[in-house]
Amino acid sequence: MGEASHPLAQAADAPGQINLVLDGPVAILHISHPARRNALTVAMWHQITQAAQLLATLPAVRCVVLRGAGGHFCAGADISEMPTVRHDRSTGTAYHEEVIRPALMALRALDQPLIAGIEGDCVGGGLELAACCDLRVANNDARFGAPVLHKGFPLAPFEWQVVSDAFGRAATMSLLISGELIEAPRALTLGMLQHVWPRAGFDWQLADLARRVSQTAPAAVAVAKQLARGQCQDPYVFLDSPDYREGILAFLERRAPHFGKP
């Protein structure tokens, strides 16, 4: 099935943008601001919120891949906007609570599996986006960090929660206090990544992983993600789903299951 782009609200002269591409059961969210290593403007954060809210209404999408353009994942928030969008307590609080937090919450609320495909820099806000994903894979040139303390500010409370939930308190504090950027092999040993692949073949490996993830049972995946978020009100709802019956029947018939049938 061919790819189809889905428009997101943005200004015509926006320096960066989030592009949503639907390719059969897989959706690709592209972070595109290559001149600044995909640093996120306020408008781009809002587009991430918009894209995630849209994806939540698309049951045909079985897997979401988040990746960056131009050889980098995301270098964080666009610091050039700081003098105008977070220059004091009032604007800074609004920025974190009304711009970043809704985007991270919308990604974490998705019942579809999220995969972060990470190349180059994954720093600050980029690390926060990666932390929202269920699987994180990187090429061997990727670098990870959150040197915000060296810029004069900590992670905001909800952003700290997202990162520490994903990577653990010790690894998060180490990244914050040291301010260092660690390379993918070390991030793998810390449990921050599931796979590290060579640059050559990375796109193929990522596409193959997304294809395999998209073949899982949507109802069961939704319950698993809701349990992980502590938000599952009925953990046995999957027993009423066609996916459950199809999975058992396929196992007994020794064939691949075909999930998502009505």
pLDDT over 80 (residue 6): no
**Percent of the chain beyond pLDDT 90?**
87
**In this model, does residue 230 exceed pLDDT 70?**
yes
Does residue 38 come out as left (phi exceeding 0), alpha (psi in the -120 to 50 range) or beta?
left
Q: Given a cut of 50, is residue 259 above it in pLDDT?
A: yes
The class level of CATH for 3-213 reads alpha beta
List for the chain the helix, strand, coil content (%; round to 5).
45, 20, 35
Mean pLDDT of 189-204: 96
Asked whether the predicted pLDDT for residue 253 surpasses 50, the reply is: yes
The alpha carbon of residue 182 and the mean position of all alpha carbons in its chain are separated, in whole angstroms, by: 19
Q: Which of 144, 141, 196 is nearest to 166 (CA)?
A: 144
Instruction: Give tens-digit pLDDT for 68-104.
Output: 999 999 999 998 998 988 889 999 999 999 999 999 9
Position 39, amino acid: A
Nearest CA to 237 among 225, 220, 254? Answer: 220
pLDDT computed for residue 7 by the predictor: 61
* Cross-strand bridge partners of residue 144: 122, 182
Checking if the pLDDT of 184 tops 60, the result is yes
pLDDT value for 1: 46
- DSSP at 17: E
pLDDT of residue 67: 98
Which residues in 176-201 are b (16+ Cβ under 10 Å) and which e?
Answer: beeeeebebeebbebebbeebbeeee
Is the separation of the CB atoms in 29 and 35 below 8 Å?
no
Which of the four pLDDT bands, split at 50, 70 and 90, describes residue 2?
A: low
Which residues have CB under 8 Å from 134's CB, separation 6+?
113, 114, 115, 225
Mean pLDDT of 252-260: 92
Q: Name which of 48, 1, 47, 3 is nearest 22 in CA terms.
A: 3
pLDDT in tens, 14-72: 789 999 999 999 999 999 999 999 999 999 999 999 999 999 999 999 999 999 999 99
In tens, the pLDDT along 210-219 reads 999 999 999 9
Least confident of 3-7, 138-142, 147-151: 3-7
Mean pLDDT for all residues in the chain: 93
Would you kindly state where each structural domain of the chain is located, as residue ranges?
3-213, 218-252
Pairing mode of beta strands 135-139, 182-183: unpaired
Which pLDDT belongs to residue 71? 95
